[in-house]
Amino acid sequence: MNDIAPLLSVIIPTLNEASHLPLLLGDLNIQQKITFEIIVADGGSEDATRSTAEEFGADFITAASGRGAQMNAAAERASGAHLLFLHADSRINDANLLSNAIDALMSKSPLQQRVAGHFRLRFIRSTARNKMAYRYAEEKSAFNRVNTTNGDQGLLLSRDFFRDLGGFDERMPFLEDQRITEKIRTQGELITLPGYLATSARRFETEGFHRRYILMSMMMGLYSIGEDSFFTRAPGVYRLQQDTGKLLLSPFFCLLRQMMLDEWGLDGTIHAFYLLGRYIRQNLWQMFFFIDVLMRPLIGIGRYPSLNTYDRMSGACKNSRILDAVTGLISFIWFMGVLAPFFLLVDKSESKGKL
């Protein structure tokens, strides 16, 4: 570090986070070798979020509800040369995490001014269930491949670069993290910062890990092909952490089927699943990556033989329309022919069980 540490602005969007905010603010207060300010950008909390923030000496501002709008408002108020965006339920277990992160980012800056960084993830869990699935998600968070970075991993970048990117997209109250990281990939460089953030697994544990992952895959697939109407029509596609319960997937599959009938028609449905096939094929590396994670006890840490094999093979058929069409057909059969009827029956059975 330099003798005078660069001023950093830590920005935390909140909505009724009085139970989690004190833990993160306490972690921030013991950070060493760096000077920084904390701005809590609130979207209309009705609990003690404000008094909690002020008790820890953080600046508290109110903004239009929606993480993107809240973080943009805080960025306008920030005085730091660099901005770090964190979720309120994040935890920091290293007193040098922020100073090490700034060091890593600034070591890139002389070569690449348009650089941003994110941390690896560790989940804070209350159950030992789905151990392999969490290990897969945690290990994947170290990568910088398309659609592998989200807001739980934090985002560190210079204020100038953030302004050049146009800030966060405020059109919807979700996916603002995915949108800005994909812009960073095309307009600059995204790096993995040293250390990790711990984050609550409460949404996965409450909603069901595999149910949440299936919905996330649907969201990212439809977003990638420009079908934004799914998000405006979806019943509760994004729910506040405090409002989550067991996630029912049947309403989302019913909505998708309705979109096929009302909006897409036969030709539009074929085209949509062709595009989804292309998107899925671009992300098939995750299946090979999962094999490496599964075999981790045998192959050791940091080795990815299956993934490397896929990368070598995929280059030969990078732009295959036939494979895109076949993958699209398989995805249609899987989502609409297998998952949709399965969750329709399971959700109906679970709903009856609660009566």
Q: How far is CA 301 from CA 19, 139, 198, 294, 311, in A?
A: 36, 10, 20, 11, 19
pLDDT score, position 32 = 95
Lowest pLDDT segment from 223-232, 292-301, 310-319: 310-319
Q: Which residue has the tokens 């560790």?
A: 122
Q: Which residues pair with 10 in a beta bridge?
A: 38, 84
User: Can you give the residue ranges of every domain in the chain?
Assistant: 8-200, 208-354
Q: How far apart are the first and last CA of the chain?
A: 61
**DSSP line for 180-235:** HHHHHHHHSEEEEEEEEEEEE-HHHHHH-HHHHHHHHHHHHHHHHTT-THHHHHST
Please write the tens of the pLDDT for every residue from 153-173: 999 999 999 999 999 999 877
pLDDT value at residue 268: 96
Mean of pLDDT values over 133-139: 94
* Separation CA 223–CA 137 (nearest Å): 21
> Do 155 and 179 meet the contact criterion of CB atoms below 8 Å apart?
no
59-113 pLDDT, tens digit per residue, is: 999 999 999 999 999 999 999 999 999 999 999 999 999 999 999 998 886 656 7
- 328, 273 contact by CB (below 8 A): yes
10 Å CB burial of residue 283 (0-12, 13-18, 19+) is middle
Which pTM does this prediction carry?
0.90
Task: In whole angstroms, give the CA distance from residue 84 to residue 241.
Answer: 22
pLDDT of 312 reads 87
Residue 14: left if φ>0, alpha if ψ -120 to 50, beta else—which one? Answer: beta
Residue 288 has a pLDDT of 95
The least confident of 7-16, 57-66, 243-252, 254-263 is 243-252
Q: What does the chain come to in residues?
A: 355
How high is the mean pLDDT of the chain?
90
**CATH topology for the 8-200 domain:** Spore Coat Polysaccharide Biosynthesis Protein SpsA; Chain A (3.90.550)
Average pLDDT for residues 221-229, to the nearest whole number?
Answer: 89
Percent of the chain with pLDDT over 70: 92
Q: Is the pLDDT assigned to residue 237 strictly greater than 90? A: no
Euclidean distance between CA atoms 20 and 110, whole angstroms: 37
| Pairing between β-strand 8-14 and β-strand 189-200 as defined by DSSP bridges | unpaired
